[in-house]
Amino acid sequence: MNTALAVCQSGGWAEDAATLTWHERLAERLAALTPPTRKDEFWRYSRLSACFAPERTGRGLDCPFPSPEPLAGEWIRLDQGRPVASHTRAWRLRPWSELDETTRARWRERLEPGEDFFALRNLVEADAVLLLELEKTADAPLQLHYRHGAGWVQPLVLVELAPGARGALVETFSSFGPSTQNGAAHFWLGEGAELTHGVFTAGDGQALLHRVRARLCAHARLDVQAFASTGAYQRLEWDVTLGKSSTLRLSGITQGVPGGSNDVALRIRHAAPGAATDVLWRGLVPAEAHSAVIGRILIEPAGQRTDAAMRLDHLLLADSAAADVKPELEIYADDVACGHGATLGRLDDEALFYLRSRGIPEAEARQLLIDAFLAPVLQRFTLAEVLRHVQSRLPRPDDAAA
């Protein structure tokens, strides 16, 4: 099956009465909001101005994209926020206009954006709204390729895994002209469902905001494997609510790019007993680059018997590199074992000297130590689609020699 989805109508939302009313209210709420500033704790370290630069804003312009690379397996291509082609057997894909009212009502509720400016704006101005459903087990990951190249681009992807379903989703992002993509993915994992979520972004001078909001029902499991390489400005957000005995494992790497700024914001909420969170994020920050990771683990009173751990580490590789980290615990239940750790530092001089004294040139010695720093994260990456991209961005000395 190779379906070319019809380009969704403007705004992405079908014009049924209930959706229209809801959409109007959202628009009113958006009009009353202003973009976040550094006074907002979750935007404290964000260098947001890049995504409001005049050349990256504006709407509606199409972009002359180059011919796409051919894709194998299961995939969907979204250009300028709109699905243009897809190929999948395991997943069911539908635009909003094809959904029945029950499904629409359910999702309208799940999409409540609160006071989040970018989430609201994405809902109000969505270029396309696409629902992906998985009923049972999908063997191959579904790849979502986003390309943006002009103005503000705002795709919205809804993902629902039926109870017990198992699958993988890999989102990759690239840009081809002055633009800001403000996208969102909403995951709903039914009881016992398992999703592996890969994210790969490559730096090419544009701005990207991508929000993932996930709700895990009882015994569900979400395994995130992310690699973020900065454009001018990039922010990846995960907002995860864990149900009873569910599990979140979130692993990520930030590879900074000179002149770029990269944010990661994690909001993890334990709302039921027995859930477990394990976060490991590591960042490499070269000269003139900025990396920020804000991670909050919130344990609600109902979140007894919680096990939560978060590690956020950065290596600053040169002068003028900058890193900001804010690992938070907010705990309202007593039967918990929670911890976080963070380090900011540089390559170990002693180790570097040791390697060089064994005849390894400095550049390669540095690369070896960087590999060692990233290894614990890479060991958690199981998605071949992500690993392939990551390896292409992290050349190893062996490769150079070969």
Partner 1 sequence: MSTTELDAALSQAYEAGFVTDIETETLPPGLDEKVIEYISAKKNEPEFLRQWRLEAFRRWQTMREPHWAHVRYEPIDYQGLIYYAAPKRRSETEIDPKLLETYEKLGVPVHERAALAGVAVDAVFDSVSVLTTFKDKLAEAGVIFCPISEAVQKYPELVQKYLGSVVPPGDNFFAALNSAVFSDGSFVYIPKGVRCPLELSTYFRINTARTGQFERTLIIADEGSYVSYLEGCTAPMRDEHQLHAAVVELIALEGAEIRYSTVQNWYPGDEEGRGGVYNFVTKRGLCAGRGAKISWTQVETGSAITWKYPSVILKGDDSVGEFYSVALTRGRQQADTGTKMIHLGRNTRSTIVSKGIAAGHSQNAYRGLVRINPGASGARNYTQCDSLLIGPHCGAHTFPYIESRNPRAIVEHEASTSRVSEEQLFYCRQRGIDPERAVALIVGGFCKDVFQKLPLEFAVEAGKLLEVSLEGSVG
For the chain, the C-alpha Rg in angstroms (whole number) is 21
Residues 2-61 contacting partner 1, CB under 8 A:
41, 44-45
User: Could you tell me how many residues make up the chain?
Assistant: 402
| Tokens 């409001």 -> residue | 52
Residue 122's H or E segment, with its range, is: helix 117-125
Comparing CB distances to partner 1, the nearer of 218 and 317 is 317
Contact call for residue 324 and partner 1 (CB under 8 A): yes
**Which one of 344, 351, 355, 369 is in contact with partner 1 (CB under 8 A)?**
344
Stretch near partner 1 under the rule CB under 8 A, chosen from 77-85, 116-124, 242-250, 343-351? 343-351
Nearer to partner 1, 79 or 313 (CB): 313
C-beta of 118: minimal distance to partner 1 in Å?
22
Stretch that binds partner 1, among 130-138, 147-155, 232-240, 323-331 (CB under 8 A): 323-331
> Nearest CA to 87 among 69, 71, 99, 67?
71
Decide if 167 contacts 161 (C-beta within 8 A).
yes
Answer yes or no whether residue 307 interacts with partner 1 by CB under 8 A.
no
Are 228 and 238 in contact, with CB atoms under 8 Å apart?
no
Residue 330 lies near partner 1 (rule: CB under 8 A): yes
Q: Which window, 18-26, 69-77, 136-144, 325-333, contacts partner 1 (CB under 8 A)?
A: 325-333
Q: Which amino acid is at 244?
A: K
* Beta-ladder partners of 327: 295
Q: Which is nearer to partner 1, 332 or 353 (CB)?
A: 332
Residue 356 parent element (H or E): helix 349-357
Rule CB under 8 A: say whether 329 interacts with partner 1. yes
Helices (H) and strands (E) in the chain, counts: 7, 20
Smaller CB separation from partner 1, 133 or 328 = 328
Q: Considering the rule CB under 8 A, would residue 376 count as an interface residue with partner 1?
A: no
Q: Which residues pair with 326 in a beta bridge?
A: 294
Distance (Å, whole) CA 7 – CA 155: 12
Q: Which is nearer to partner 1, 7 or 329 (CB)?
A: 329
Tell me which residue of 271, 215, 223, 228 sits closest to 250, measured CA to CA.
223
Kindly state the DSSP code that residue 335 receives in the 8-state scheme. S
Q: Which is nearer to partner 1, 249 or 346 (CB)?
A: 346
Residue 322 found at the interface with partner 1 (CB under 8 A) = yes
Closest separation between CB of residue 159 and partner 1, Å?
32
372 Cβ neighbours under 8 A, 6+ residues apart: none
104 part of the interface to partner 1, by CB under 8 A: no
113 contacts partner 1 (rule: CB under 8 A)? no
Q: Residue 377 Cβ, how far from partner 1 at the closest point, in Å? A: 19
**144: nearest Cα among 203, 187, 205:** 187
Site membership for partner 1, residue 391 (CB under 8 A): no
Of residues 106 and 326, the one with the C-beta less far from partner 1: 326
Is 307 in contact with 337 (CB distance < 8 Å)?
yes
String of DSSP letters for 340-355: EEEEEE---HHHHHHH
To partner 1, the closest distance from the beta carbon of 235 in angstroms equals: 18
In whole angstroms, the minimum distance from the beta carbon of 146 to partner 1 comes to 32
Task: Work out whether 346 is an interface residue with partner 1 (CB under 8 A).
Answer: yes
Q: Would you tell me which residues interact with partner 1 (CB under 8 A)?
A: 41, 44-45, 301, 304, 314, 316-346
